[in-house]
Amino acid sequence: MKITDWNELPDLGVSHNLEIKKRTLIARGEIPQLMMYGTAVFKPGQKVELHKHDTMYEVFHIQTGKAVFTISGKEYEVGPGKCITIAPGEIHGQHNPFDNDVTWTYFGIATD
């Protein structure tokens, strides 16, 4: 059993853009196939360039604010309550062109 206090976790930069901050609730290796489970704050103007994960599903659940996700060339504006699942190999990126922070929880599941 493990209890993690989100309020005590350090803010770390995400791998695709170190200025975007995350808190890792469950780290890679703690649960088989789970790459990471955490939260992130995406400030106005921040973005993650297009990229893909060949062997990982990535899931984002938006809590507050809005962001634009680009997935396989199509843009999706998403806000609170929306959950996005990105399949392995799908080219994707995110940006926040809005005036408010967007927060989400997200995790990755390895397929290999």
Domain that holds residue 68: 30-110
- Domain for residue 105, yes or no? yes
pLDDT digits (tens, 9 = 90+) for 36-74: 999 999 999 999 999 999 999 999 999 999 999 999 999
- Domain for residue 3, yes or no? no
| Distance in angstroms (rounded) separating the CA atoms of residues 57 and 43 | 24
- Domain for residue 89, yes or no? yes
Global pTM reads 0.84
In contact, 101 and 64? CB cutoff 8 Å: yes
Instruction: State the CATH number of the domain containing residue 75.
Output: 2.60.120.10
- Domain for residue 64, yes or no? yes
User: Residues 97, 81, 7, CA angle at the centre, nearest 5°?
Assistant: 85
- Residue 67: both structure tokens together: 């962001």
Q: Which of 111, 102, 110, 91 is nearest to 29 (CA)?
A: 110
Say whether pLDDT at 80 is over 80: yes
- Domain for residue 21, yes or no? no
Chain Cα centroid distance, residue 46: 13
Name the domain count of the chain: 1
| Distance in angstroms (rounded) separating the CA atoms of residues 76 and 69 | 5
- Domain for residue 8, yes or no? no
